[in-house]
């Protein structure tokens, strides 16, 4: 299955057309760290990360990982952990996964800049939650209701097409 982004504000998943938000500055083929753009391309999805203190274990064929208080995603181009999940450290900049708001109560990393990581090409590109559809820092955000629909339809072979 391929999830498709259409008109910068809709995700097409099987027979469902779901409202979404993307990066504040739109789409790009030339993603750079911090540019507020969502990368164009076709990418696999990673595991489901979720806050078990806020969400009961969702039904999905993806591997599930509980988000712990010390989980972060490194966005520091000078770190060996760039674009990887790790734990809090004073040695590098990062994005906290255990947040006060609901955005990361459930998230799926999009495998952008993933296998052969190029520092500065962009990191922490997720499919995550939104309540208001405000633009993101480069991720794709959907409502909790729609995220749960997506989880029921996808598996580890699913790709997302962003163009």
Three-class DSSP labels, the chain? CEEEEECCCEEEECCEEEECECECCCEECCCCCCCCCEECEEEEECCEEECCCCCCCCCCCCCEEECCCCEEEECCCCCCCCCCEEECCCCCCEEECCCCCCCCCEEEEECCCCCCCCCCCCCCCEEEECCCCCCECCCEEECHHHHHHHHHHCCCCCEEEEC
- The pLDDT of residue 22 is 98
Q: Is the pTM of this model over 0.95?
A: yes
- The pLDDT of residue 31 is 98
Residues 6 or more apart whose CB falls under 8 angstroms from that of 29 comprise: 39, 40, 41
**106-119 pLDDT, tens digit each:** 999 999 999 999 99
| Dihedral angle sign, alpha carbons of residues 38, 128, 75, 110 | negative
- The pLDDT of residue 106 is 98
Task: Collect contacts of 8-11 with beta carbons under 8 A, ≥24 apart.
Answer: 9/133, 11/140, 11/142, 11/146, 11/150
**149-162 pLDDT, tens digit each:** 999 999 999 999 99
- The pLDDT of residue 26 is 98
- Separation between Cα atoms, residue 72 and residue 120, nearest integer Å: 18
Average pLDDT, stretch 11-27? 97
- Total count of residues recorded for the chain: 163
Q: Is 100 exposed, middle or buried (0-12, 13-18, 19+ CB in 10 A)?
A: exposed
Domains, the chain, ordered by start: 2-63+102-162 (2.40.440.10)
């Amino acid at each position: 299955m391929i999830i498709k982004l259409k008109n910068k504000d809709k995700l097409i998943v099987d027979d469902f057309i779901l409202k979404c938000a993307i990066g504040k500055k739109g789409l790009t083929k030339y993603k750079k760290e911090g540019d507020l753009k969502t990368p164009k391309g076709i990418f696999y999805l990673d595991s489901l990360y979720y806050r078990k203190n806020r969400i009961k274990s969702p039904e999905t064929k993806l591997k599930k990982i509980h988000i712990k208080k010390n989980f972060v995603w490194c966005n520091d181009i000078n770190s060996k952990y760039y674009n990887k999940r790790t734990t809090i450290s004073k040695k590098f900049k990062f994005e906290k996964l255990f947040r006060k708001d609901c955005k990361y109560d459930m998230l799926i990393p999009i495998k952008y800049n993933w296998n052969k990581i190029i520092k500065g090409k962009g990191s922490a590109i997720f499919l995550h939650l939104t309540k208001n559809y405000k633009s993101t820092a480069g991720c794709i955000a959907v409502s909790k209701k729609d995220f749960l629909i997506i989880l029921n339809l996808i598996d580890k072979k699913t790709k997302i097409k962003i163009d």
